Amino acid sequence: MTTHTTQEGSAPKGLEPLEASFPSSHKIALPVEHGGFTMQVPKRRIHVSAGEPPVDVYDSSGPQGCDLRQGLPTPRAEWVRGRVPGPGGNVSQMHYARKGVVTEEMAYVAVREGCDPEFVRSEVARGRAIIPANVKHTELEPMIIGRNFLVKINSNIGNSAVSSSIEEEVDKLSWSVRWGADTVMDLSTGPDIHRTREHILRNAPVPIGTVPIYQCLEKVDGKIEDLTIDLFLETLEEQCEQGVDYFTIHAGVLLRYVPLTAKRVTGIVSRGGSIMAKWCLAHHEESFLYTHFERICELMKRYDVSFSLGDGLRPGCLADANDEAQFGELETLGELTQIAWKHDVQVMIEGPGHVPMDKIKENIDKQIEVCHEAPFYTLGPLVTDVAPGYDHITSAIGAAMIGWWGTAMLCYVTPKEHLGLPNKKDVKDGVIAYKIAAHAADVAKGHKGARDWDDALSKARFEFRWQDQFNLSLDPVTARDYHDETLPAEGAKVAHFCSMCGPHFCSMKITEDVREYAREKGVVDGEALDAGMAEKSAEFLKQGGEIYR
Amino acid sequence: MTTHTTQEGSAPKGLEPLEASFPSSHKIALPVEHGGFTMQVPKRRIHVSAGEPPVDVYDSSGPQGCDLRQGLPTPRAEWVRGRVPGPGGNVSQMHYARKGVVTEEMAYVAVREGCDPEFVRSEVARGRAIIPANVKHTELEPMIIGRNFLVKINSNIGNSAVSSSIEEEVDKLSWSVRWGADTVMDLSTGPDIHRTREHILRNAPVPIGTVPIYQCLEKVDGKIEDLTIDLFLETLEEQCEQGVDYFTIHAGVLLRYVPLTAKRVTGIVSRGGSIMAKWCLAHHEESFLYTHFERICELMKRYDVSFSLGDGLRPGCLADANDEAQFGELETLGELTQIAWKHDVQVMIEGPGHVPMDKIKENIDKQIEVCHEAPFYTLGPLVTDVAPGYDHITSAIGAAMIGWWGTAMLCYVTPKEHLGLPNKKDVKDGVIAYKIAAHAADVAKGHKGARDWDDALSKARFEFRWQDQFNLSLDPVTARDYHDETLPAEGAKVAHFCSMCGPHFCSMKITEDVREYAREKGVVDGEALDAGMAEKSAEFLKQGGEIYR
């Protein structure tokens, strides 16, 4: 692996240790043997008191304590060593899956998700799930995106011409995965696009996605009409070599869809979509992404880069949701999916955007139908346009719903959406809002074991195990700080009450009484109760009728 | 009106002026003539640039600039003067509605909601909507709660034995309504419960709700088994006289439901519910709230206090959602609704709580059925239990969904839920998360005109009218501050780009091109496009093919 130094020259600040973000947690590694390798699948183990079992949660945080200038270790290098393809070769996970081969990545993912490796293989083979894993991204801890697995979230980072440094972006990457981002997109559009990406990839334990047309546009000095397929393929290859795991490619923006956006309130809001629309208008041709799609597939299968087929015509406001332009493009993405699959190239489909709640389900239902069950990957959607500054919330509402209904990955939105570039706090706020949405979706889908985490926390809450309640939460330190604002004393954290009700109003304490009574009588239904009730009532009053201590 | 002085003696700090929270907004009053009175119905008018019409939004903020020690003006005093009932009399809105009378409150509400007064009357008459409006609460600006009107939100304030002062609570009241709370519940449990409530009511332009059993419990020094119907009625009357507009009464906690909670993960989490459960166990009797329910109705109709029938057995975690205890109680609340309606007493029904997304719809569908369409008023629901510190988000997700499906009012949850008492920042965060949920629900329901606000903001966004975008948002100052963090210069706020993309990547600018083309050609569909496309393409390139400035 190459050693990288930041141009800025200063030592990277690095993050606080994992334990500072997650007290009473530590990383564990579940060993898995496959193909002669012993792989280590990470989990975060949350220790709980009172004899309760620890809670092991999915962990995307990656190796800790590495020097950002050196990059992460590359355990995957040996798994992929034998996979370098000859001319016309194919190293995609879908390719192996369809040949009946369970790859190291599939075996790894199976342990990570708690399912059978053969099930992983079959889902990848039929295109209902993808494992974005460029063979050149050897720092990767493989993960899977598909609606029969845990719902995933993506965070976006990247500098622009007007803001932020490489080091800041790498810092946001590490911060994103710390809080739970499953993939990260580098959306940089600034001058240092190649070098920024290199630093990001070498420090990325998660799949990295890009929108290659941005770099192409830098290469032609912003002259959209000068973009060509050759420049595009050259740029793709450059990024393939670096190890990018998935490309957003807006190949579905067809000439005939463009005028359909003219009457929209917000027209075309996707950057890639608007670039391709302008190219189409300028040349009066279908875009080179569409007409040369198979050449793109030929390249991507040699590295196993996955498509994230971009929704260039996604709605940018509620008024434009579910219109002809959007759904026309979606059908084209479905056609392109089948072409990619002919080449065994993995595909996911991007979706909106801004959609009122009553129109969300139609999006996922239609996507599943016309895109042949390829995984859906949506941005939110935001369910109202009136709350800039709070769009992590407006969009987490839509994201939770569309995740429940079958969307496989949710692209986060930060509080800065529509207003500016996110800082570290915004990244964390966005990731946590989306962890909430994704987990709520897993629970609503009845995903095996998903609710165990909720139940463990609820039990801790009911039993006044305050530290356990904090430690089990998505953001333990914030939970603890909020508690301490009202009742800072250490003693309050073992108290059998809290600041909301005080010691004389605690419903949870009263419930213990009810429970104890039922336990004694062995009753859990009304019929069995009456007999012993009068007797118990008398006894209860005799004892003082008081349970507060 | 009595003049009140705070025991603390210090002058109330008061809030920043309305204009500081909402730049380019000012309050307007729509005059309405009814019954010989001229009433003033408030709206907030948001001024927009570029010749666009102003946007008038629902406004709950109440009269501004009043001295908290003096209370608000009492315009409603003259409307209700003739309504004082004799013995057995009834002054409820439902009573008048059923007699065919459109009250001042109904006429006021009709203007506020933009609908016909007769429609308001008919909805109140059939119990599908309520206007909580104690005749003693003369500071009130009437509002309506029902699923055919705008979805409303409630904020909770109130001190406990361990925290906060009266002045802080009145401050939170004013702050709540500033940001959009439609009703406020005073959940105080501390020593100064009567005086706190008095200060709150005299400064409340919105309906105030309470849970009277809390004060009763103070009166018996926390000895639950000493609670009696006489003490309860005496306390109700005290609160009726003060002007409380609705009472949460947990009259549906029946003896036979209590053991059903024994196997729950979190038992009984409602304070009122647990108090009544303990009373039932101690006496081995149905609770006095249930057995003397008609006496309670008799009292409440003399003041027109509305029932908020409490869900004492609501689930406190996902694991306990939609169980037999919860739905058993809901059926009892339906029976009690019919008894209240026999007395023409207005009723709404409280609902959960903690519910996974896939179980939310069952709650509202069942409530509508068994409670005969009485308005539903839910707390969230939270859709996951793993995010203490972020429960305004976990619950806004469920609230938006259940609002869309027919819930009439959403009780807010702040980031401090389960952890501590909310401060002013938490109150604002909770209110805004719930304004998002309620508005998203209005839009999804297709409520007349609801989306106009979104469309006005989206149009401003598309046209780079930054100040309009800020001013039209739920929280303009936060939106502006977020923008300024990345691009602070004043010039950037008239720029036709933003920090996310920079000047060379602006999809919105490219879209203008597309739009202009379509406008020239008069085309909005693909068929009409082809003919002129080649010509346009040549022309476009000749002009430089470049629209960036």
Render A68-136 in DSSP notation, one character per residue.
TTT----TTHHHHGGG---TT----HHHHHHTT---HHHHHHHHHHTS-HHHHHHHHHTTSEE----TT
Integer CA distances (angstroms), A231 to A196, A247, A270, A289, B507, in order: 20, 15, 21, 11, 21
Sheet holding B37-46, edge to edge: B25-34, B37-46, B55-58
In sequence order, what DSSP letters do the residues of B269-313 get, joined into one string? --HHHHHHHHHHHHHTS--HHHHTHHHHHHHHHHHTPEEEE--TT
Shortest CA gap A247–chain B (Å): 18
Residue B408 has pLDDT above 90, yes or no: yes
pLDDT at B532: 46
Kindly compute the dihedral angle of the four CA atoms of residues B363, B365, B367, B370, in this order, to the nearest 10 degrees.
-130
Cβ–Cβ gap A390/B262 under 8 Å: no
Amino acid found at A417: E
Cα-trace Rg, chain A: 26
The mean per-residue pLDDT over the stretch A149-154 comes to: 98
Query: Which residue blocks in A158-291 are alpha helix, DSSP H?
Result: 166-179, 193-202, 212-219, 229-242, 271-283, 288-291
pLDDT single digits (tens) B450-472: 999 999 999 999 999 999 999 99
For A438-486, list the strands marked E by DSSP.
none
The mean per-residue pLDDT over the stretch A396-417 comes to: 98
Token pair belonging to A236 = 């793709």
Amino acid found at B348: M
Structure confidence at residue A188 as a pLDDT band (50, 70, 90): confident
Evaluate the CA torsion angle B278, B279, B283, B288 in order and state its sign.
negative
Structure confidence at residue A1 as a pLDDT band (50, 70, 90): very low
Instruction: Tell me the chain B residues in contact with residue A436 when contact means C-beta distances shorter than 8 Å.
Output: 383-384, 386-387, 390, 393-394, 397
Kindly compute the dihedral angle of the four CA atoms of residues B243, B248, B249, B252, in this order, to the nearest 10 degrees.
150
pLDDT at B490: 64
Q: Which of B52, B329, B384 has the highest number of chain A CBs within 10 A, making it the mutation to test binding with A?
A: B384
Structure confidence at residue B519 as a pLDDT band (50, 70, 90): low
Between CA B282 and CA A543 the distance in angstroms is 11
pLDDT at A192: 84
Token pair belonging to A344 = 């065994």
What pairs with residue B158 in β-bridges? Answer: none
Amino acid found at B353: G
Between CA A56 and CA A40 the distance in angstroms is 15
HSE toward the beta carbon, residue A195, CA cutoff 13 A: 13
Between CA B28 and CA B167 the distance in angstroms is 28
* Closest among B82, B144, B81 to B115, alpha carbons compared: B144
Residue B182 has pLDDT above 60, yes or no: yes
Least confident stretch, A172-181, A278-287, A288-297, A359-368: A278-287
pLDDT at B520: 64
Cβ contact B321:B351 at 8 Å: no
| Residue-averaged pLDDT of chain B | 89
Between CA B296 and CA B196 the distance in angstroms is 24
Residue B537 has pLDDT above 90, yes or no: no
Backbone angles phi, psi at B97, to 5 degrees: -60, -40
DSSP code, position A408? S
Q: Among partner residues B260, B387, B444, which is closest to A436 by beta-carbon distance?
A: B387
What pairs with residue A38 in β-bridges? Answer: A33
Shortest CA gap A522–chain B (Å): 10
Integer CA distances (angstroms), B205 to B15, B74, B182, B382, B505, in order: 15, 9, 9, 29, 48
Structure confidence at residue B167 as a pLDDT band (50, 70, 90): confident
The whole-angstrom distance between residue B398's C-alpha and the CA centroid of its chain comes to 15
Backbone angles phi, psi at B461, to 5 degrees: -60, -45
Shortest CA gap B398–chain A (Å): 8
pLDDT single digits (tens) B254-263: 999 999 998 8
Which residues are CB-contacts of A49 (< 8 A; sequence separation ≥ 6)? A465, A467, A468
Cβ–Cβ gap B444/A318 under 8 Å: no
Residue B173 has pLDDT above 90, yes or no: yes
* Strand A25-34 with A37-46, pairing: antiparallel
User: Which chain B residue is nearest to residue A218, measuring alpha carbons?
Assistant: B504
The C-alpha angle A342, A348, A351, rounded to 5 degrees, equals 135
Cβ–Cβ gap B454/A384 under 8 Å: yes
User: Which chain B residue is nearest to residue A425, measuring alpha carbons?
Assistant: B482
User: Which chain B residue is nearest to residue A416, measuring alpha carbons?
Assistant: B482
HSE toward the beta carbon, residue B13, CA cutoff 13 A: 11
Using a cut of 0.90, tell me whether the model's pTM lies above it. Answer: yes
Token pair belonging to A144 = 């899977």
DSSP code, position B493? G
* Closest among A194, A159, A215 to A420, alpha carbons compared: A159
**What SS3 state is found at B401?**
helix
Of residues A297 and A534, more confidence is placed in: A297
pLDDT single digits (tens) A481-507: 999 987 766 666 666 666 666 555 667
Residue A516 has pLDDT above 90, yes or no: no
Cβ contact B267:A514 at 8 Å: yes
Between CA A430 and CA B517 the distance in angstroms is 37
Amino acid found at B316: G
Residue B543 has pLDDT above 90, yes or no: no
Q: Among partner residues A390, A415, A511, which is closest to B267 by beta-carbon distance?
A: A511
Q: Which of A56, A359, A386 has the highest number of chain B CBs within 10 A, making it the mutation to test binding with B?
A: A386
To which H or E segment does residue A31 belong?
Answer: strand A25-34
Omega before residue A31 within 30° of 0, cis: no
Token pair belonging to B115 = 């609908």
Between CA B507 and CA B548 the distance in angstroms is 11
Cβ contact A441:A400 at 8 Å: yes
Of residues A43 and A420, more confidence is placed in: A43
pLDDT single digits (tens) A43-72: 999 999 999 999 999 999 999 999 888 999
ipTM of the complex: 0.93
Evaluate the CA torsion angle A408, A409, A413, A418 in order and state its sign.
negative
pLDDT at B86: 61
Cβ–Cβ gap A498/B316 under 8 Å: no
Between CA A434 and CA A413 the distance in angstroms is 8
Cβ–Cβ gap B356/A389 under 8 Å: no
Integer CA distances (angstroms), A430 to A24, A442, B98, in order: 24, 18, 50
The mean per-residue pLDDT over the stretch B13-27 comes to: 91
pLDDT at A6: 38
Q: Which of A253, A458, A467, A536 has the highest number of chain B CBs within 10 A, making it the mutation to test binding with B?
A: A458
Which residues are CB-contacts of A377 (< 8 A; sequence separation ≥ 6)? A145, A154, A308, A348, A349, A350, A351, A407, A408, A409, A410, A411
pLDDT at A494: 61
Query: Which residue blocks in B99-184 are alpha helix, DSSP H?
Result: 104-113, 117-125, 166-179
Residue A191 has pLDDT above 70, yes or no: yes
Cα-trace Rg, chain B: 26
Cβ contact B283:B225 at 8 Å: yes
Residue A130 has pLDDT above 80, yes or no: yes
Of residues B298 and B15, more confidence is placed in: B298
**Chain A to chain B Cβ contacts (< 8 Å):** 489
* Closest among B54, B61, B83, B94 to B338, alpha carbons compared: B94
Structure confidence at residue A529 as a pLDDT band (50, 70, 90): very low
User: Which chain B residue is nearest to residue A515, measuring alpha carbons?
Assistant: B262
Shortest CA gap B147–chain A (Å): 16
HSE toward the beta carbon, residue B540, CA cutoff 13 A: 25
The mean per-residue pLDDT over the stretch B111-137 comes to: 98
Token pair belonging to B106 = 């109904």
pLDDT at A133: 98
Between CA B260 and CA B324 the distance in angstroms is 7
Amino acid found at A208: I
Token pair belonging to A372 = 């042949």
The C-alpha angle B512, B515, B519, rounded to 5 degrees, equals 135
The mean per-residue pLDDT over the stretch A426-435 comes to: 98
Between CA A299 and CA B438 the distance in angstroms is 48
Structure confidence at residue B489 as a pLDDT band (50, 70, 90): low
* Closest among B273, B268, B256 to A533, alpha carbons compared: B256
pLDDT at B192: 84
